[in-house]
Structure 1
Amino acid sequence: MSDEWGKPVNESKEDRTSLKLLEKTLLAGVQEQRRARRWGIFFKLLTFVYLFGVLLIFSPLLHMGEGKAVGDTHTAIINVRGMIADEEAASADNIVGALRAAFEDSNTKGVVLRINSPGGSPVQSGYIYDEIRRLRGEYPAIKVYAVIADLGASGAYYIASAADEIYADKSSLVGSIGVTAATFGFVETMDKLGVERRVYTSGEHKAFLDPFQPEKPEETEFWRSVLATTHRQFIDSVKQGRGDRLQVAGHPELFSGLIWSGEQALELGLIDGLGNASYVAREVIGEAELVDFTVKDSPLERFTKQLGVSIGSQLALWMGFQGPQLR
């Protein structure tokens, strides 16, 4: 230390002791804060593990008896909501499982598929369609009714056409019997950016859907033929399910991918009547008591789905390609 004239000032022993004591006090405070922070993180993790364990143990109990009917007869309700795709709520596994449980219940008087979906995978829709028809054959006394709420389009209508009868609201959107597959083209963008695309394949057409390469006429024609085949399968299934009720004559646009209101769909034979699920249960099936057989996620499954991200799906969207969709 020095005074204002630059002359050194001798530090007393007491000053040095005070400085060391202050330094130790500050260091101890910092160390204590670090320990407190570590313990805080530890207890937060411990709480998370505890809650996760509780969900893991008790989630099966929360679903005991779910979808199981007791007592008198009832109308079984199965919801088909959202995109029809693997690992979604409206996947074939979920819908087929619910259908089997509903048909196997001795108290089920009729089954209502309550549909509100834009469609989705032709494969998943086809699985459900086939299972509905199989169960109808195995349990002829139990009728299946599809009831369309806001939307019953594409793959959702594919499923509905397997039912004995279809109902909708007068303003519901029904139909969209078509197939689509969307992608993008980034060739000119790559040229402008000066980026070279390098793709190595072991098949002549392995990369024909690559959005970063120019389209080839023969590959485009091939892809159109794939979609046309899927569309034909869709049309055949709808015709098989609806039969003579479809007003095909004079309406060539019926299978063009257009969508109609419930009122228009009734005139075209796409549906059999106007009404909601409660109306069908009460007035058509004759059993107003509803029992929900829809497969539901457990709290643990909902929790993990919220935390997880489907990397594959996000990459597919980023690349601009989706597989064939019934629309």
Structure 2
Amino acid sequence: MALRDMLGWLPVERWRNPHPVVAVIRFDGVIGSRQGRNTISLGSHAAALEHAFSLSGLNAVALAINSPGGSPVQSALLYRRIRQLAEEKSVPVYAFAEDVAASGGYWLALAADTVYAEEASLVGSIGVVTSTFGLNQLIERFGIERRVHTAGERKSLLDPFLPEDPEDVVRLGALQRDIHDSFKDLVRSRRAGKIDAADTMLFSGEVLTGRMAVARGLVDGIGDLRGVMRGRFGERVRLVPVVAQRRRRFWWPRVRPYTVSDPQGIVGAAVGEALDWLETRAIWARFGL
């Protein structure tokens, strides 16, 4: 076989004209520091983010977001890490809201230079909500006495095993307003020139559809990840999924630390797991999901 024929089998065109590369990272679930298969945190996504921004021939990073929010701290940590990597690598970031990118989910979307959504996506919910359970009547029913000892008169806040204290609610409100102010400042900064900063409805906690979000400047356009990336980088673009390694968490508590002689430990862990599950479901349920 002639040398020319042999060289004809080599992917020379690929070397001369490489495919554009877009790293795709999914953020699917409630945002929080607890480890779980459906929980998003900096710990669960840090390695994936580092890998995504280090791909050879990288042209952009795409964030596929399906999250109703959760922890404002984890939202802020993820936002900051994405922005740091984007600036260090000089790589543009695109965000794509799927079913929902609300509250902390929208906080994540703000890390992108350009935000897209589907027409029926639920976007926004720029506010702060705190949910808890009142279990004081439950423990009374079973004859359980709650004993709490603190050093500092304001150490205990909204103990679920005690009746709600109006002073605790006032203190909680002050904390929520401060976090809300930080969220609003970030939105005004990242969406400067695209939103009406005086539009109080945007910061009321209201959730918007994708179409409404485009009209009010929270989202740049309607579109899906594959379609937008092909339109931006051409049909030859390579979408490279980068998977976050999240630890699988079962509903039933791990019972290894407890023994038959410690039934309270087993019951306490089971109650804690059940409340975590209910809280997660409640966050999704706010958006009918």
Q: CA deviation at 1:261?
A: 0.4
Structure-to-structure mapping, 1:1-327, within 5 angstroms: 72-86=19-33, 87-88=35-36, 89-140=39-90, 142-187=91-136, 196-249=145-198, 251-286=199-234, 288-296=237-245, 302=248, 305-306=249-250, 309=253, 314-315=271-272, 318=275
Matched pairs, number = 249
Alignment deviations for residues 243-276 of structure 1 (CA, whole Å, 9 cap, x no partner): 2212333x31111111010000000101000000
Alignment deviations for residues 174-222 of structure 1 (CA, whole Å, 9 cap, x no partner): 0111111112334566667776543333332333321232333332211
Q: 1:138 to 1:292 in 2, by over 3 A?
A: same
Question: Superposition RMSD on alpha carbons, in Å?
Answer: 3.1
* Range moving further from structure 2, 176-185 or 82-91: 82-91
On the 8 A contact 2:252/2:273 being kept in 1, the answer is no
**Ranges in structure 2 where 5+ consecutive residues have no aligned partner:** 1-17, 255-267
On the 8 A contact 1:110/1:285 being kept in 2, the answer is no
Separation in 2 of the partners of 1:127 and 1:285? 29
Letter in 1 for 2:32: A
On the 8 A contact 1:74/1:291 being kept in 2, the answer is yes
On the 8 A contact 1:208/1:215 being kept in 2, the answer is no
Q: 1:203 to 1:157 in 2, by over 3 A?
A: same
Query: TM-score if structure 1 supplies the norm length?
Result: 0.67
Separation in 1 of the partners of 2:55 and 2:165? 55
Alignment deviations for residues 220-245 of structure 1 (CA, whole Å, 9 cap, x no partner): 21111111111111112222222221
Q: Which structure has the highest helix share of the two?
A: 1
| Secondary structure, aligned partner of 1:145 | strand
Whose Rg is larger? 1
On the 8 A contact 1:179/1:231 being kept in 2, the answer is yes
On the 8 A contact 1:118/1:155 being kept in 2, the answer is yes
